[in-house]
Structure 1
Amino acid sequence: MKKKISEDLRSFMEYLQIEKNYSQYTIECYRRDIEHFYMFMAEQGIASIRDCQYVDARLYLTLLYEKQYARNSVSRKISSLRSFYTFLLREAAIEKNPFSSISQPRKSLKLPTFFYEDEMERLFNSCQSDSALDKRNRALLEILYATGIRVSECANIRLDDVDFEFSTILIRGKGRKERYVLFGAFAEEALQTYLQEGRLHLVDKQHDHPLLFVNFRGAPLTPRGIRYVLNEMMKKASLHGKMHPHMLRHTFATHLLNNGADMRTVQELLGHSHLSSTQIYTHVTKEHLRKTYLNHHPRG
């Protein structure tokens, strides 16, 4: 059975990578979910993936609830297995998908946290010194706030990805998708200052590399390093808590919507494939909508 399991999994992983063009992180999540189900099969004495019936799929769902898995985790596991069986069905390896009729639990809505404009100002004020690292920190903060890119995407920006003539940056996002993001005058000024007066002092000419952001040793700044830098800014700005990797991304989207940007434009700028991923930000604009209504409606 192990040989067949590896063949099925290997084929599915190749399908996700080559045909679906999923990121390695996403593929790894699928693999873990499917291997978890194989462990369940072994415990239940189910000899083959082809022997799994609807009643077994229902039992697996019940056990996930009994073990108190979070709703989002249960939903993801069921989705992974449904996709896996759909693939096997397409390959004529099975005759029926036992997960096709299994209803997924509704995902819990986790509201995005973001910074208010005065909090952003405090963050910018925390990196005002003339040191090379503060010049880098300000450029880093300006780019993340100006573009809404992910921390991992920021770490992968190359020097030649930045186009100052058109104020754009080429971003390589999830699933190897590429998109261009815009930046404004504040980000451009901070970036130019960093390149001319910050990065040159941090990078040894003999060990230069093409990545835009560097650490204090001049080596590429990793996503973990970026998160550390941002949390240090939080402390200097006397803001409580830790900065979640997506907080500046959430702030970017929220401030755009609050200032009148349409949902489709924000979706494009964030690099979301589906509008539903962007719509989670609408709740944070309700206060803005309420004020607009009260100010402009005749009976407000």
Structure 2
Amino acid sequence: MDELLTEYQYYLISEKMKSENTVKSYTSDLANYLYYLQEKLSINNPQDITTDEIKRYLTYLKKLGYSATSSSRALSAIKSFHKFLFLERRTTINPAIHLTSPKLDKKLPTVLSIDEVLRLLNSVKDDTPYHMRNKAMLELVYATGLRVSELVNLRLIDLHLTNKMISTVGKGNKERIIPINDYALKILRRYLIEARPKLVIPSKDQGFVFLNNHGTAISRQSFFLILKELAKEAGITKEISPHTLRHSFATHLLEAGTDLRLIQEMLGHEDISTTQIYTHLSNQKLKEIYKGAHPHEKKSI
């Protein structure tokens, strides 16, 4: 069934326009699924897969200690794969069509306060090319709300500095244009003029904006390690994720009165419901302020 998985990968990329990260995660989940079917159940023909086999696999994942989130993602990949096989007439039935993922509690993302963001950004030194790069990356993410994958894949041709804009291709290969504020623009320009030329290796230069010590694009993992280390130095004790600054960007815009639809556009969310999670974060802060400020809330009970 390996050739079917290869065809499915092509389908995800060329027809469904899925991101590289989605394709990788789906492929990994399906490789494990197909291995289980072949090695544990001796199933080598997709036509022989039934709903019961899929349920057995999900039970197997649970026994392995998979979290509800990981199992749900695996099921999404399996459902997508079987839908593909059915549409391509590789099977006459879709055994996954009636399977539903358990409803997961949406965990609110970690958001830094404005004071914490300023502490983080101000803690970044700018005395070496690498420090200038780090400062530019953090300022740019907080100024634009870029996903980390979009940040590390940003190229020089995506920068429209005269117009104070950057362009990026997000999920679903959809391009969007995002404004950039004057301060972040100043930090970015300094990096491009003073630091990037010292990091670039001409023979390896592919036009990526942010480079590592090998002259190639910095990785998502490296960015996250840098972010965690800088947060620690700034005395921030909250649990940091790669998208903490993106979440903070959106929440602070909402708290400042920015229209939710505009935030949706800047973040590149296809569905407004994805953006609405920031209203919960904003409401949560409102409750905290109310509890601390309202006279009745201050009374002991």
Identify the TM-score tier after normalising by the shorter chain: 0.7 to 0.9
Aligned match of 2:175 in 160, 165, 178? 178
* Partner amino acid, structure 1, of 2:227: L
Unaligned runs of 5+ in 2: 292-296
* Partner amino acid, structure 2, of 1:24: E
- 1:123-159: CA deviation from partner (whole Å, max 9, x where unpaired): 1221355544443333222111001112222122222
Shift of 1:203: 4.6
| Distance in 1 (alpha carbons) for counterparts of 2:194 and 2:10 | 46
Shift of 1:169: 0.6
CA RMSD of aligned residues (A): 3.1
* Partner amino acid, structure 2, of 1:136: R
| Distance in 1 (alpha carbons) for counterparts of 2:147 and 2:192 | 21
Is residue 2:50 matched to residue 1:53? Answer: yes
Contact 1:171 1:180 in 2 (8 A): yes
Residue number in structure 1 paired with 2:14: 18
Output the TM-score relative to the length of structure 1: 0.84
Aligned length: 294
| Distance in 1 (alpha carbons) for counterparts of 2:204 and 2:92 | 57
Mean CA deviation greater in 199-208 or 221-230? 199-208
Contact 1:156 1:211 in 2 (8 A): yes
Aligned match of 2:165 in 164, 168, 180? 168
Residue number in structure 1 paired with 2:196: 199
Residue number in structure 2 paired with 1:248: 245
Mean CA deviation greater in 181-190 or 228-237? 228-237
Contact 1:112 1:250 in 2 (8 A): yes
Aligned match of 2:34 in 25, 31, 38? 38
| Distance in 2 (alpha carbons) for counterparts of 1:135 and 1:243 | 21
| Distance in 2 (alpha carbons) for counterparts of 1:265 and 1:24 | 26
| Distance in 2 (alpha carbons) for counterparts of 1:87 and 1:207 | 38
- 1:167-209: CA deviation from partner (whole Å, max 9, x where unpaired): 1111132343322111111111222233334334555789766
Aligned match of 2:281 in 274, 280, 284? 284
The 5 A counterparts of 1:268-283 are: 268-283=265-280
Unaligned runs of 5+ in 1: 295-299
- 1:86-106: CA deviation from partner (whole Å, max 9, x where unpaired): 111112222211111112111
Residue number in structure 2 paired with 1:213: 210
Shift of 1:228: 3.2
Is residue 2:261 matched to residue 1:264? Answer: yes
